[in-house]
Amino acid sequence: MTVIRRVLALTSGRIAVAVLAVIALLAALGPLLAPQNPLATSVRTLADPSAAHWLGTDYLGRDTFSRLLDGSRVSVLGSLEVALTALVVGAVPGILSVHLGRAFEWVTLRLTDTLVALPFLLFAVAVIALLGNGITQAMLVTGVLVSPLFYRVARAATLAVARSPYVEAAIVSGASLGWIVRRHLWAKVLPPLAVALAQTIGTGFVIVSSLTFLGIGVQPPEPTWGGLLASDLGYLAHQPWAPAAPALLIMVTVWACNLLADAVRDVSGEAGRALVDRRRARVHRTDQAVTTPAGGAR
Amino acid sequence: MTPPTTQHTRSEQPGTATEPTAAPVLSVRDVHITDRASGREIVHGVSFDLTPGRTVGIVGESGSGKTLTCRAALGILPPHFEVTAGSIEIAGTDITTLTPARWTALRATTISAVFQDPASYLNPSIRVGAQIAEVLRVKTGLTRREARDRTLELLRAVHLRDPELVRVQYPHELSGGMLQRVLIAAAIAAGPRILIADEATTALDVTVQAEILDLLADLRERTGLALVVVSHDLAVVAQLCDEVLVLRHGEVVEQGPVRSVLHDPRHDYTRLLIAEHEQYGLERFRPAKEHA
Amino acid sequence: MLGRSAALFVPVFLVATFVTFALRSLSGLSPARIQLGEEATPEAIARVEAEWGLDRPFLVQYGDWFDGVLHGRLGTSWTNGSDISTLIGVGLGVSLSVATFALLIGVVVGFVLGTVAALRRTTWIDRAVTGFVTVISVMPAFVVGIVLVAVFAVGLRLFPSAGYVPVAQGIGPWIAHITLPAVALSFDVIADVARQLRTGLIAAYGENYVTGAVVRGLSPRRVFFGHVLRNALGPTLATLGLKFPALVGASVVTEWIFGLQGFGRFANDAAQAGDVPAVQGVLVVSIVLVVTFNLLVNLVLARVTPASQRGV
């Protein structure tokens, strides 16, 4: 995948990928890495950070650091679930809306308009509470609610391809439909979808954290980043610094997702290739500029 | 750096062509313009004087530096571009002494301009009448009502049919020729002494082009406006100008009264330009040759 | 103009209310469970459901409910039998105070930041503003809310940490109680407005009509306010219209943090209690809010830029 290589050629792309890789590792290995049992209570409640408890303990004496590590899994899986649901629910009708005729187009457009107009956190809270309290259902519902982004992106790119002269030329010259899709549609539709996916994973983190903060989608003893913040809120007078760790984790993750989205946007398409080439050229030139005088001085 | 110096043919005596009775309103002296970003000099010394009621033409292909010269005189050079030598005086004031506020005061009242692609030089979100009225109210202190009446007069003065309707239309509702008339009306609203027409007729079709040129000539006769006409088209310059500069790669290759330059071109490039235009009926602008 | 915008939102409203109403059937919840508990006999359940009219065909119920919605009647609560419109009306004052104040802060601060960044672009000021905007754009409202409570209410004791005082009891206390939640909600708006305006202004400054206005002798201030801003404002306003639903939605978390009895809190409580008509009522009200706000945005847009600009 040339896009991945080009993203890694950008400093911002490398930072984003590195941060997200660390977060993904936390999610995969978090429970193993946790120094203590995240559910084990102790008499040392609301303790300050120490060698035994790096981030202190909560109101039940549970180790905050372990809870943070253990809670990363829910956030990561949840946001991925949101993004993938949105991708499928949004992109497929988005592409088909260009090809399946007027009625389908009209209906999907109206549905998209409606979804955009819904205050989604309000709807997510209401729908999840009414339809059954489980993180999977919660994320599926949220995924549907944020799917209009994918619908629009996929539809716009497909429309651009369908109306472009080179596709008409390909059809006239007798190219097969499969070939056109592979050669032209994917090339135009995939990059914007990748950008939207990265963005939505970031949005997903915020939504998962918001829902778990409200206690929606998880059973109480199980730790989540949002749940940690909610319990910290109750003990701000004792531990005003406590929200810092989960808050920073959420923000850094969202920031890395946005950074990745920007990097993908920057490197896809003609403009992107030129950008990377220009940066490479500049790096190359500075290398020479640095080496030449050094050699001359000696 | 500079290309090999080409033959720099001046007219016989600068005085014979343009009667220097009045003081020049625009005086360009050996202006050099440099692109700071690349360090390249783009314009290598342009000079001319412009007195009220007269017209100077600047001809040359695109990239020859004619537009940069005009923009320098208007104080709107693009970023990185700078006048690195020579001087420009507008109504006796050296433009290097102008503060931004004095520039604002000078534009529209003393020097003004119209450009190619008139649609893009008008704000797409504002009715054209309001854009002219804005100039009137800001520059001449007219009241709202007076400005409206004066706008209608101006639209009539640039020979627009149905000024009442045009006044309340948006730029996208008007044709290219009409827009150029509107732009001219806005440019002359505050009674400037100099009007720069930079490729003002280029994108228009031939009949409209002729009408706009007639309009400019008419304004010059009636108001004593001094015109700078920039074009890549020798025919335009021939129709309107007293003096002409031929620019190539930022160099003035020939300069003099229109008649003598067209009648007796001394530079190969000028001959080439004239030869290219023979078939477009340039002959009728060169009666001197036929008479001779 | 208003007619066309309204026509655009009619299908949105119809679909949204239908989905909202379908929630009851999908959830399988019933007032009988709430009133009679888990051990109720099927006969008792049927009797209670008949009292609520739930034994009628789905579409008849929908028609009845929709007719009520159009007349401002949102039904009665399953849990305590009170009038839902009244309950929501109480919370709406709180939520609208906070949302309006947040919008005000967001637009003013975003406007200043976006303008300064655009006018000083490629300088350190631009980079500082862009960096700041990037930071606040990744801060979710509930995180900002918690930090604000920790710093300004618990730490510095500058603002009350929770509760609401109606404006009737004094402007000062009212502002004091809604400031922190409004600031928490405003970050997202600030980031969006600042970014969109910066992009729009820079694009507009590259246009020929700016050169045209300069050559016509207009001052930089007049060129900015009269010509550049006008054209940069369109996309910014459109973003604001898209942002509003998120603002209404985020009230669920901010009202929780700041202990406000707004309609977001009401929605959450009603949903947790399984009070379906109350939830439906809140959702309908939120849709009405969003649609009304977008109609307003469209009206302003129509005044700022002519039809051709918007591709209508």
What percent of chain A is predicted at pLDDT more than 90?
A: 7
Instruction: Inform me whether the C-beta atom of residue B109 falls under 8 Å from chain C C-beta atoms.
Output: yes
Using CB atoms, which chains have 3+ pairs under 8 A with B? C
Q: Which string of b and e fits C236-266 if b means at least 16 CB within 10 Å?
A: bbbbbbebbbbbbbbbbbbbbbbebbbbbbb
Residues of A in contact with C9 (CB under 8 A): 117
* Facing A110 at nearest CB: one of C11, C142, C279: C11
What percent of chain B is predicted at pLDDT more than 90?
A: 40
What percent of chain A is predicted at pLDDT more than 70?
A: 81
Lowest mean pLDDT among B98-102, B176-180, C99-103, C302-306: C302-306
Check pLDDT > 90 for residue B56: yes
How many contacts, defined by CB atoms under 8 Å, are there between B and C?
84
C26 and A130 within 8 Å at the Cβ level: the answer is yes
* Facing A126 at nearest CB: one of C143, C283, C291: C283
Q: How confident is the model at residue B166 (pLDDT cuts 50, 70, 90)?
A: very high
Check pLDDT > 90 for residue B194: yes
Check pLDDT > 50 for residue B173: yes
* Facing C257 at nearest CB: one of A113, A209, A233: A233
Chain A interface, best mutation among C12, C157, C239, C282, by max A CB count within 10 A:
C12
CA A108-A110-A115 angle, to 5 degrees, is 90
- The whole-number pLDDT of residue B279 equals 55
For β-strands B243-248 and B251-257, DSSP reports them as antiparallel
Instruction: Inform me whether the C-beta atom of residue A218 falls under 8 Å from chain C C-beta atoms.
Output: no
Distance between CA atoms of residues B97 and B110, nearest Å: 16
B74 and C230 within 8 Å at the Cβ level: the answer is no
Which span out of A1-10, A56-65, A127-136, B203-212 was modeled with the highest average pLDDT?
A: B203-212
- The whole-number pLDDT of residue C4 equals 67
Q: Which residue is closest to C307 within chain B, CA to CA? A: B125
Residues of B in contact with C305 (CB under 8 A): 124-125
Q: Which of C165, C162, C160, C227 is CA-nearest to residue C200?
A: C227
Instruction: Inform me whether the C-beta atom of residue A297 falls under 8 Å from chain C C-beta atoms.
Output: no
Name the 3-class secondary structure at C285: helix
Distance between CA atoms of residues C107 and C188, nearest Å: 10
Residue C91 tokens, joined: 């919370």
B76 and C211 within 8 Å at the Cβ level: the answer is yes
Q: How confident is the model at residue B33 (pLDDT cuts 50, 70, 90)?
A: very high
Q: How confident is the model at residue B291 (pLDDT cuts 50, 70, 90)?
A: very low
Q: To which residue do tokens 């590195």 refer?
A: A18
- The whole-number pLDDT of residue A168 equals 75
**Count of C-beta atoms within a 10 Å radius of residue A282:** 10
Q: Which of A88, A87, A95, A106 is CA-nearest to residue A180?
A: A95
Check pLDDT > 70 for residue C310: no
ipTM of the complex: 0.83
Query: Between chain B and chain A, are at least 3 CB pairs below 8 A?
Result: no
What pLDDT, in 10s, does the model give residues A283-296? 444 443 333 333 33
Nearest-CA distance from A121 to chain C in Å? 5
Nearest-CA distance from C135 to chain A in Å? 8
* Facing C215 at nearest CB: one of B76, B105, B170: B76
Nearest-CA distance from C8 to chain A in Å? 9
**What are the counts of helices (DSSP H) followed by strands (DSSP E) for chain C?**
14, 0
Phi and psi (nearest 5°) for B234? -60, -30
- The whole-number pLDDT of residue B284 equals 54
Q: What is the CATH number of domain C84-311?
A: 1.10.3720.10
What pLDDT, in 10s, does the model give residues B79-136? 889 999 999 999 988 998 999 999 999 999 999 999 988 888 999 888 999 999 999 9
Distance between CA atoms of residues A257 and A197, nearest Å: 9
Query: Between chain A and chain C, are at least 3 CB pairs below 8 A?
Result: yes
- The whole-number pLDDT of residue A285 equals 43
Does residue B164 lie in a domain region? yes
Query: Between chain B and chain C, are at least 3 CB pairs below 8 A?
Result: yes
Q: To which residue do tokens 């899709």 refer?
A: A181
Residues of A in contact with C139 (CB under 8 A): 251
Alpha helices in chain A (DSSP H): 2-9, 11-33, 64-99, 102-117, 120-131, 135-145, 148-162, 165-172, 177-180, 186-213, 225-234, 244-267, 269-297
- The whole-number pLDDT of residue A88 equals 93
What residues does each domain of chain C span? 2-70, 84-311
Residues of A in contact with C270 (CB under 8 A): 126
Check pLDDT > 50 for residue B180: yes
Check pLDDT > 60 for residue B176: yes
Q: How confident is the model at residue A277 (pLDDT cuts 50, 70, 90)?
A: low
Residues of C in contact with B131 (CB under 8 A): 216
Q: Taking an 8 Å Cβ-Cβ cutoff, which residues of chain C contact chain B?
A: 207-209, 211-220, 222, 226-227, 230-231, 304-306, 308-309
Lowest mean pLDDT among B209-223, C10-24, C157-171: C157-171
Check pLDDT > 50 for residue A14: yes
Check pLDDT > 70 for residue A54: no
- The whole-number pLDDT of residue A288 equals 39
Would you identify the CATH topology of the domain A2-46+53-285?
MetI-like fold (1.10.3720)
Mean pLDDT of A188-198: 86
The domain of B72 spans: 23-285
Instruction: Inform me whether the C-beta atom of residue A255 falls under 8 Å from chain C C-beta atoms.
Output: yes
Which span out of A61-65, A193-197, A280-284 was modeled with the highest average pLDDT?
A: A193-197
Question: Domain containing B139 — which CATH number?
Answer: 3.40.50.300
What pLDDT, in 10s, does the model give residues C180-195? 899 999 998 999 999 9
Distance between CA atoms of residues B180 and B120, nearest Å: 11
What percent of chain B is predicted at pLDDT more than 70?
A: 88
Mean pLDDT of C35-40: 70
Nearest-CA distance from A257 to chain C in Å? 10
C212 and B126 within 8 Å at the Cβ level: the answer is no
Nearest-CA distance from A292 to chain C in Å? 30
What residues does each domain of chain A span? 2-46+53-285
Mean pLDDT of B136-144: 91
- The whole-number pLDDT of residue C312 equals 38
What pLDDT, in 10s, does the model give residues B236-277? 888 889 999 999 888 898 899 988 888 888 888 888 888 777
Q: Which residue is closest to C150 within chain A, CA to CA? A: A240
Q: How confident is the model at residue C214 (pLDDT cuts 50, 70, 90)?
A: very high
Mean pLDDT of A59-63: 72
Q: Which residue is closest to B70 within chain C, CA to CA? A: C215
* More confident of the two residues C34 and A27: A27
Q: To which residue do tokens 């979804």 refer?
A: A115
Residues of B in contact with C230 (CB under 8 A): 123, 125-126
Mean pLDDT of A56-77: 79
What's the half-sphere exposure (Cβ side, CA atoms, 13 Å) at A170?
A: 18
What percent of chain C is predicted at pLDDT more than 90?
A: 19
Check pLDDT > 90 for residue C282: no
Check pLDDT > 80 for residue C269: yes
Instruction: Inform me whether the C-beta atom of residue B115 falls under 8 Å from chain C C-beta atoms.
Output: yes
Lowest mean pLDDT among A100-114, A232-246, B192-206: A232-246
A117 and C287 within 8 Å at the Cβ level: the answer is yes
Q: DSSP assignment of B56-78, as one string? A: EEEE--TTSSHHHHHHHHHT-PP
Contact residues, A window 93-152, toward C, CB-based 8 Å cutoff: 110-111, 113-114, 116-131
- The whole-number pLDDT of residue B12 equals 41
Mean pLDDT of C62-80: 81
Contact between B112 and B188 (Cβ < 8 Å):
yes
Residues of C in contact with B190 (CB under 8 A): 216-217
* Facing B122 at nearest CB: one of C212, C304, C309: C212
Chain center to CA of B237: 10
Using CB atoms, which chains have 3+ pairs under 8 A with C? A, B
Name the 3-class secondary structure at B215: helix
Chain C interface, best mutation among B81, B126, B183, by max C CB count within 10 A:
B126
Using CB atoms, which chains have 3+ pairs under 8 A with A? C
**Cβ neighbourhood burial of C61 (10 Å; 0-12, 13-18, 19+):** middle
Q: How confident is the model at residue B4 (pLDDT cuts 50, 70, 90)?
A: very low
Instruction: Inform me whether the C-beta atom of residue A271 falls under 8 Å from chain C C-beta atoms.
Output: no
What pLDDT, in 10s, does the model give residues A104-121? 888 888 888 888 888 878
What pLDDT, in 10s, does the model give residues A205-235? 888 888 888 877 776 777 888 888 887 777 7
**Count of C-beta atoms within a 10 Å radius of residue B81:** 18
Mean predicted lDDT score pLDDT of chain C: 83
Q: How many domains does chain B have?
A: 1
Q: Which residue is closest to C234 within chain B, CA to CA? A: B125
Q: How confident is the model at residue A46 (pLDDT cuts 50, 70, 90)?
A: low
* Facing B186 at nearest CB: one of C216, C227, C308: C216
